[in-house]
Structure 1
Amino acid sequence: MATKIHRGTARLTARGSLTRARIIAGATDLVYDQGVAGTSLDDIMAATGTSKSQLYHYFADKDALILEVIRNQLAKIIAGQGTELRAARSWDGLQRWRDHVVESTRATGGVGGCPLGSLSSELADRSESARRVLAACFAEWEEYLLDGFRAMRADGELSQDADPQSLATAVMAALQGGLLLSQASHDVQPLELALDMALGHVRRYRPED
């Protein structure tokens, strides 16, 4: 795996680390429900029980806090998919990851979509710093798939002419498109179709027995 995205934090006391983490967690929940534009610093202070001086002690401004919200959403996604993503190094493992994502989306009816996708729609064209962090987060998520496809090619489960990077990007694009349409329709079927189409494309590179 490539170097992960690190949070730029100075040395904090244990109490300071907990306070900072509480602010990020509270802001993450509010932004998920209300969007960035609909969430004020006053909202975050009220939800997390912090003062203005505390907030500005840990974050230079709202933009700096939102960058941490983006990173925190990635951490939550990886925590939810990590076991399946790390095991997606074979055809069976790849199918289990697909099934996990579909069933997780079915459980919510598609409500909420992809947190990173929603943040990208709101911020990517308005904030260059946010766009860069979003792109890095998507790349980190995608790299789990990339590592899996590299392993499959090395193990002979993908032909040598397969391009793991292109396959990983195609699957990630299908995932994002499927999640968006499932969010709009509150129906998991678009996600199922998108992932099955993407994995069907990957299977084109499966060596014949």
Structure 2
Amino acid sequence: MVTTAEARDGRRLTARGAKTKARIIAAAADLMYVKGVAATTLDDVLAASGVSKSQLYQHFAGKDPLVRAVIEFMGERVMERERNALGRVSTMRGLRRWRDALVQANALRHGAYGCALGSLASEVADHDDVARLALSRLFAEWQGLLADVLRRLQDAGSLPGEVSIDDLATGLMGALQGGYLLAQTARDVTPMATSIDMALAHVESLSAR
């Protein structure tokens, strides 16, 4: 994948070129999050970013490479948030605070647009393997952060040693992403909150044993 420091031909970008490329990616990311990938045209990106067509094509051969750059951009933004949120969590109370922060943030939009990564995955996974694999790696990292939290709970004796941490992390990630989707269609975060609460309640039930 071409980074923001490189042009299409592999040459290192000037500071001005890097800023132009970053502006294109940021504008495309905002549009694709709100409108969707399919509904966002390159003309939309040109208008939103304020760059010329020649500048856009200097950095991206077409829409697919731009979508991949958006995935990288959005992925780093989401994962930085999740690393900060989950990196030191070692209690159920901490997991609850993580849940509250995600639900409250999504409530500001009444659940609209869903998860930034989940929305991208639903549109590109079936026709762009490069994008699908990039998203798969991001979801794996996110799930790994949840597994690390659950493993810390297990190490502290809050979860039985025989419990499969990977299975629990998969279930929690599924509840989160399913909750985002339900909230998106309902324009109400209540289903998201309920989905995550059910998954956390299951974790707590194992702890109670």
TM-score (norm 2): 0.87
Work out the CA distance in 1 between the residues paired with 2:14 and 2:153.
Answer: 44
Q: How does 1:70-109 map to 2 (within 5 A)?
A: 70-109=71-110
- Shift of residue 60, structure 1, vs aligned partner: 3.0
Check whether the contact 2:143–2:170 (CA below 8 A) recurs between aligned residues. yes
- Shift of residue 204, structure 1, vs aligned partner: 3.3
SS at match of 1:38: coil
**How many correspondences in the alignment?**
204
- Shift of residue 59, structure 1, vs aligned partner: 2.2
Between the two proteins, what is the percent identity of the paired residues?
45
Moved more, 159-168 or 51-60: 51-60
Q: 1:112 to 1:88 in 2, by over 3 A?
A: same
Q: Does 1:56 align with 2:57?
A: yes
Work out the CA distance in 1 between the residues paired with 2:2 and 2:92.
Answer: 32
Check whether the contact 2:28–2:70 (CA below 8 A) recurs between aligned residues. yes
Q: Does 1:129 align with 2:130?
A: yes
Q: Which runs of 5+ in 1 are unaligned?
A: none
SS at match of 2:111: coil
SS at match of 2:37: coil
- Shift of residue 182, structure 1, vs aligned partner: 0.9
SS at match of 1:206: helix
Letter of the 2:107 partner, please give it: R
Check whether the contact 1:36–1:122 (CA below 8 A) recurs between aligned residues. yes
- Shift of residue 81, structure 1, vs aligned partner: 4.3
Q: Which runs of 5+ in 2 are unaligned?
A: 7-11
Work out the CA distance in 1 between the residues paired with 2:92 and 2:172.
Answer: 14
Work out the CA distance in 1 between the residues paired with 2:139 and 2:33.
Answer: 17
SS at match of 1:132: helix
- Shift of residue 195, structure 1, vs aligned partner: 0.5
Check whether the contact 2:82–2:142 (CA below 8 A) recurs between aligned residues. no
- Shift of residue 78, structure 1, vs aligned partner: 3.2
TM-score (norm 1): 0.87
Letter of the 1:68 partner, please give it: A
- Shift of residue 207, structure 1, vs aligned partner: 5.9
Letter of the 1:167 partner, please give it: L
Instruction: Tell me the residue number matched to 1:14.
Output: 15
